[in-house]
Amino acid sequence: MLKSPEWHLLIVWYFFLGGIAGGAYFTAAIADNFGGPRDRNVVRTGYILSLLMIGVCGMLLILDLGTPSRFMNMMGTFKFKDPMSIGAWMLGVFGLFSFVSSALSLVGGEERAGLRRRWSLVGILFGFFLASYTGVLLSATALPFWRDGRLMGALFLASGASTGMAAISLLLYLSGDSAGEGFKKVKRADRFAIVFEMVVLALFLVLLGSAAAPLTSGHLAPLFWGGLVALGLVIPLVLDLAGGLRVPAVVPAVLVLVGGFVLRYVIVMSHA
């Protein structure tokens, strides 16, 4: 009998918030480099959100070890083909990029914008890494379903993008900044990410075939179909496209975030 690593809610939260951290960072970096001055709120919100999230992520992982100081044991080696080892290091590297980007977006003004943009062009790679490696980490185990999903990393990346963008738009909305151009653009990018996530998820399930049973027909299936597919993907997309419904912009953003959490929850807990 194969054994479960007994990863529970702390890891679910880590996978979820790590996706937001990565997604928010690369969204901000793209807005910084390819957007205009009216996207400055998106840039700043994205960088700072990623910094806050990565801080929480570090704490979640350390808590999960039971004895916090043992986290340092991971810093004694670097294994290039081991997602867990690279991940532990990249958490620190990403934190550094996220910190400097946040600082440059708060102070330094426009004369430091060039440096901030170049810095984020490198950081963007770590953002993509952080959002996707947790999926690859799961698929590099011996456990059925986890090991069978070739698109696990791609799916986590797409979800990191959609949730990171949803989190930025939610924060902009809450801070009363939802009338601007930046908000409109981040919503547009999120719409694209949601559609892409749906495509990846469909391919993921098709490629898995019967191995997808823990998601599609087990005790987690109602949560998967209801919480992720319906509430987290289809409904927010429909609400977003059907502008005439007069639903506050906050609703689809919250739903996407719920969906992103449910995705990590059903996948991790299928081997709880």
Partner 1 sequence: MARTLAMFTDTSLCIGCRACQVACKQWNELPMEEPEWTGSYQNHAHFTDKTYRLVRFIEKPQANGELQWLLMSDVCKHCAQAGCLDACPTGAIHRTEYGTVNINQDVCNGCRYCVSSCPFGVVSFNHDTGRANKCTFCNDRIHNGLGPACAKTCPTESIQFGFRDELAAKAEKRVAKLKEMGYAGAQLYGADTNGPLGGLNAFFLLLDRPSTYNLPEKPLLPQRNVFVDSVLAIGAALVVGVGAMVSFRERGGKGDGDA
Report yes or no: 182 and 172 within 8 Å, Cβ to Cβ.
Answer: yes
Can you give the three-state secondary structure of 56-118, one letter per residue? HHHHHHHHHCCCHHHHHHHHHCCCCCCHHHHHHHHHHHHHHHHHHHHHHHHCCHHHHHHHHHH
The residue count for binding partner 1 (CB under 8 A) is 73
Is residue 193 part of the contact set for partner 1 (CB under 8 A)? yes
Three-class secondary structure of residue 232 per DSSP: helix
Is residue 137 part of the contact set for partner 1 (CB under 8 A)? yes
- Interface mask toward partner 1 for 17-56; x: CB under 8 A: ---------xx--xx--xxx-xx--x--------------
User: Least distance (Å) from partner 1 to the CB of residue 41?
Assistant: 12
Among 186, 212, 220, 255, binds partner 1 (CB under 8 A): 186
- Interface mask toward partner 1 for 67-86; x: CB under 8 A: x--xx-xx-xx-x-xxxxx-
Identify the CA nearest to 257 among candidates 181, 167, 137: 167
Is residue 158 part of the contact set for partner 1 (CB under 8 A)? yes
Report yes or no: 183 and 45 within 8 Å, Cβ to Cβ.
Answer: no
**Which listed range, 99-107, 125-133, 213-221, 222-230, lies at the site for partner 1 (CB under 8 A)?**
125-133
Is residue 187 part of the contact set for partner 1 (CB under 8 A)? yes
Q: Which is nearer to partner 1, 76 or 226 (CB)?
A: 76
**Which listed range, 91-99, 179-187, 226-234, 255-263, lies at the site for partner 1 (CB under 8 A)?**
179-187
The vertex-51 CA angle with 135 and 184, nearest 5°, equals 85
**Which listed range, 49-57, 106-114, 124-132, 224-232, lies at the site for partner 1 (CB under 8 A)?**
124-132
- The half-sphere exposure of 19 on its side-chain side, counting CA atoms within 13 A, is 34
**Which listed range, 97-105, 187-195, 216-224, 231-239, lies at the site for partner 1 (CB under 8 A)?**
187-195
User: Least distance (Å) from partner 1 to the CB of residue 27?
Assistant: 6
User: Least distance (Å) from partner 1 to the CB of residue 79?
Assistant: 7
Report yes or no: 139 and 149 within 8 Å, Cβ to Cβ.
Answer: yes
Which run of H or E residues covers position 53? helix 40-64
Among 16, 126, 145, 146, binds partner 1 (CB under 8 A): 146
φ and ψ at residue 239, rounded to 5 degrees: -60, -40
